[in-house]
Amino acid sequence: MTPLKLIETTSGSFSLLLDAGTTQVDELVEQLGHEPNGYFWEGVARFLVSAEAQKLEGRFSYDPEAGMFCAYGTDQAALQELGSLMSTVANDAERMRALVASATTAGFEFDD
C-alpha cells in the first residue's frame, strides 16, 4: 500500500494517510495540469470509488489538507481496499495518466 499508511487512531477508528508530494507520479500530475496535494488525492479517491469500487461509497469520510490526503472511519476493510486502489495509481505513471484521462472524459473535476 506504499506510499499510503493505514493507522488506528483510536480503538476502532482508522485513518488512511498519504503525505502529498511523496509519490512516484507527482511530476506527471503537474505535467497533467494538477497540483499533487491532498485535495487532488481526494479527487483521485473519489473518482476511483465512483468508477471502480462503488461498493466503497459512503463507508468512510475524507478530510484532506494541502500537504496530506486523509480518509477515515471505522470500516478498516474499506479503507484498506481504498489504499490498495490508490497505491496502484500513486506508483504507476501510466495508471495515473489513464485515470486523469478517464476523469476528464467523464467531466470529473479535481479540486486541487
- Residue 17: predicted pLDDT: 98
Which residue carries 490498495 as its cell?
84
In this prediction, residue 12 carries a pLDDT of 97
In a domain, residue 59? The reply is yes
At 109, is the secondary structure helix, strand, or coil?
Answer: coil
Distance from the Cα of residue 77 to its chain's centroid: 16
The reply to whether 110 falls in a domain is no
| CATH number assigned to the domain comprising residue 76 | 3.30.1360
Question: What is residue 112's predicted lDDT score, i.e. its pLDDT?
Answer: 87
Domain count, the chain: 1
pLDDT at 72: 98
Q: Domain range spanning residue 70?
A: 5-97
pLDDT of residue 58: 97
Q: What is the mean pLDDT of each run of 10 residues along the chain (112 residues)?
A: 96 97 96 97 98 97 97 98 98 98 96 88
Alpha-carbon span 52 to 15, nearest angstrom: 21
Rg over alpha carbons for the chain, rounded to the nearest Å, is 13
Report if residue 38 sits inside a domain: yes
pLDDT at 61: 98
